[in-house]
Amino acid sequence: MRSVLRKLFRYLAFDHGRTVGLYRRFCNPDGAEWARYLKRRDVFYAMGEHCSVQVNVTITDPKYVRLGDNVRLTGCTLFGHDGSVNMINRAYGCKVDRVGKIDIRDHVFIGHQAVVLPGVTIGPNAIVAAGAVVNRDVPKNLVVGGVPAKPICSLDELVARLKARTAELPWAHLIAQREGGFDPELQDELDRMRIAYFFGDETTPAV
């Protein structure tokens, strides 16, 4: 019965934009599926291919947001406007506005609890670290972090370090065999090797 309901809620959400809350609750879409839903419903100004948007991402003004190819958003917040203008307009009897686009180019990752402010372009080929506050453009091939976000290293440098470190891991051969980011046939062995590496051969959990 639940599988029938999941199919129904997925169909109504994707094709008609209805029962979205029930779809999220019963289907628990992963980032790739939720991105497909957002693309199907034309939520953003534009969206490329192979994106992943976790359901806990907050986007205040999606029509001002453009995503390129292979953009991955994890628990971050994208602000398309400055809400303080509402207070200013009432307090000062004026009518001011402050909005901006967010343009996220190809191959960009934005980490958990990062905040991107209006008027920012990120990438291509860039990473925004978890918890960063991005208040200015992030050039291509750059990793940024901090409040406000500042350069940490180039993406090329990070990739080279990750390749070298991965090659030294006991489970590097499993990563090389894996299709995509997850392979259920390899996961149990991968978990076993990682746990042994992290905690040694101790069988008694730490208290």
Pick from 27, 68, 66, 29: nearest CA to 51: 68
**Strand 142-145 to strand 126-128: parallel, antiparallel, or no bridges (unpaired)?**
parallel
Token pair listed for 36 = 């497909």
Q: What are phi and psi of 59, to 5 degrees?
A: -130, 110
Within 13 Å and on the Cβ side, how many CA atoms surround 46?
A: 10
For residues 22 and 41, give the distance between their C-alpha atoms in angstroms, rounded to a whole number. Answer: 16
* Active-site residue, from 50, 81, 107, 112: 81
* 81 counts as catalytic: yes
81 has which bridge partners?
A: 99
Check if the beta carbon of residue 37 is closer than 8 Å to that of residue 47.
Answer: no
Catalytic residue numbers?
81
